[in-house]
Amino acid sequence: MKKDLLTINDLTVKEIQELFSLTDKLKKNKAKFGKTLFGKTLVLIFQKPSNRTRVSFEVGMFQLGGNSLYLAPNEINLGIRESIADVARTLSRYVDGIVIRTFEHKNCLELAKEATVPVINGLSDFSHPCQALADLYTVKEKLKVLKGLTLAYVGDGNNVCNSLLFICAKLGVNMNVGCPKGYEPDAAVLKDAKAAAEASGAGINLFNDAFSAVKAADVIYTDVWASMGQEDEAAKRKEAFRGFQVNKNLVESAKANVLIMHCLPAHRGEEITDDVLNSQNAVIFDEAENRMHVQKAVLIKLLGR
């Protein structure tokens, strides 16, 4: 049976660990995997702009010996030119896997339901599972362990925050979310994460101030205050997130060697300052690079079956 990756909850703890060890192998010996997906094609249906997701999937697929095909927002016109179900049925006759970047998460669910090939969520308004996999892989690479660490997410309770909650809870990483009132993560996600955290021993905590969230953190993570699709709320959000900027003052109140992470693109001078982004503690471009390595592991697991 085909397997999809729409949220981190599609993966068991064991499957995440297997993805991470395959990623280690892919990073160490790129040449060995050069024909793993020979003859396979991945299609990318994107309704939002992208740098990392598009390029890392396309290059990753190429490095595995396969092909990729990018379909920009106005090509397929998902749900307008034809129904999502018919797009899924048609593409399943041509390709071996689909990556979708969309607004409403239900589009991912609908596509996955009708497609007979694996569907990977390359970001929806609800979740960004490939990002969270690369993030926790990066933390493990840098700090050698995961269980018992504390990740402080400072900013909007958005798609990236949701996926980090799911993965931290599963892998036993404590997660503190520091966000303004009204910008908390989805209540259902918090409930799910807390249930998973009980099994792993992690703690999930919500704060309405950034300083409490970063105290004792091993990692400080942030993301834009206005996500793609929320551009008209940018001014209002700038006001609401005052006090939630990751700057020198905030970082100095955390552990000396705290890792700084950001999924990118960053709005320098808004959610994070230049000096913090450019500092020794920042592992942001390693994190971006690891998107490709982790996704190659995902592609092998899902398309190589």
Nearer to ligand NVA among residue 55 and residue 228 (C-beta): 228
**For 144-244, where are the alpha helices, taking DSSP H only?**
159-171, 187-200, 210-214, 234-240
Q: Which residues on neighbouring strands pair with residue 262, listed in sequence order?
A: 222
Residue 102 binds which of ligand NVA, ligand CP, none (CB < 5-8 A, kind-dependent): none
Figure out which of the listed residues 40, 52, 170, 293 binds ligand CP, where binding follows CB under 6 A: 52
Q: Which is nearer to ligand NVA, 148 or 269 (CB)?
A: 269
Catalytic-role residue among 96, 192, 218, 223: 223
> Which of 47, 92, 131, 295 is close enough to bind ligand CP by CB under 6 A?
131
Q: Are residues 200 and 8 in contact, defined by beta-carbon separation less than 8 angstroms?
A: no
Please state the closest distance from residue 289 (CB atom) to ligand NVA, in A. Answer: 15
Round to whole Å and give the CA distance between 57 and 63: 10
Contact positions toward ligand NVA, by CB under 6 A? 123, 158-160, 223-224, 227-228, 263
6 binds, among ligand CP, ligand NVA, none (CB under 5 to 8 A by kind): none
Output 121 or 227, the one with its CB closest to ligand NVA: 227
- Residue 51 partner contact from ligand CP, ligand NVA, none using kind-dependent CB cut-offs of 5 to 8 Å: ligand CP
Active site residue 161: no
From the list ligand NVA, ligand CP, none, which binds 158 (C-beta under 5 to 8 Å, kind-based)?
ligand NVA
By the rule CB under 6 A, 159 interacts with ligand CP: no
Q: Is 51 in the site for ligand CP (CB under 6 A)?
A: yes
280 is a catalytic site residue: no
Q: Is 241 left (phi over 0), alpha (psi -120 to 50) or beta?
A: alpha
| Residues 40 and 297: beta-carbon distance below 8 Å | no
101 assigned to active site: yes
Q: Would you count residue 163 as binding ligand CP (CB under 6 A)?
A: no
Nearer to ligand CP, 71 or 202 (CB): 71
Closer Cβ to ligand CP, 109 or 264, answer by number: 264
Question: In sequence order, what are the residues at sequence separation of 6 or more whose Cβ sits closer than 8 angstroms to the Cβ of residue 173?
Answer: 136, 139, 146, 147, 148, 149, 150, 151, 167, 202
Q: How far apart are the C-alpha atoms of 126 and 140, rounded to whole Å?
A: 25
Number of H helices, E strands in the chain: 13, 9
Q: What token pair was written down for 130?
A: 């490939």
**Catalytic-labelled residue, pool 52, 105, 128, 293:** 128
Q: How far is it, in rounded angstroms, from Cα 43 to Cα 32?
A: 24
264 binds ligand CP (CB under 6 A): yes
The single residue listed with the structure tokens 């660490």 is 149
Residue 64: partners with Cβ closer than 8 Å, 6 or more residues away: 33, 34, 35, 36, 37, 296, 299, 300
127 binds, among ligand NVA, ligand CP, none (CB under 5 to 8 A by kind): none
Task: Determine if 143 is a binding residue for ligand CP (CB under 6 A).
Answer: no
130: annotated active-site residue: no
Q: How far apart are CA 202 and CA 195, in angstroms?
A: 10
204-207 sheet: strands from edge to edge: 204-207, 174-178, 150-154, 219-222, 259-262
CB 272, min distance to ligand NVA, A: 13
Between 265 and 269, whose beta carbon lies closer to ligand CP? 265
Given the residues 131, 135, 161, 218, the one annotated as active site: 131
Q: Is 61 left (phi over 0), alpha (psi -120 to 50) or beta?
A: alpha
The residues annotated as belonging to the active site are 101, 128, 131, 223, 263, 291
The residues binding ligand CP (CB under 6 A) are 50-53, 123, 131, 263-265
